[in-house]
Homo-oligomer: A and B are copies of this chain.
Amino acid sequence: MKFEIFVTLKKDVLDPQGKAVEGAIKNLGLSTISNIRQGKYFTLEVAETDEHKAKQQAEEACKKLLANLTIEEYSIKKLS
């Protein structure tokens, strides 16, 4: 079972990386674009046929490794 995982900074956490990208984009002349925030994106496979269990495994990976829950949040979507 394949999942995609998004890890983003919580809303109240400053995003210097996003700000840097935004600066670069403005320098390129794309003045309509704003409010850029950058996160991480993962795709992974779980060798488990039960969807609920598979999602639990993916969540465990998020909690233990992929996301820093102090400042980040994650969401998981099933792909196939």
C-beta contact mask, A18-39 vs B, less than 8 Å → 1, else 0?
Answer: 1001001100101011111111
> Which residues does chain B contribute within 8 Å of A33, judged by CB atoms?
44-47, 57-58, 61
* Interchain CB contact (< 8 A) of A46 among B28, B32, B45: B32
* A interface residues with partner B (beta carbon < 8 Å): 6-8, 18, 21, 24-25, 28, 30, 32-48, 54, 57-58, 60-61, 64-66
- Are the C-beta atoms of A21 and B57 separated by less than 8 Å? no
Query: Are A48 and B32 in contact (CB-based, < 8 A)?
Result: yes
Q: Please, which residues of chain B bring their CB within 8 A of the CB of A21?
A: 42, 65-66
Distance in angstroms between the alpha carbons of A25 and B45 in the assembled complex: 12
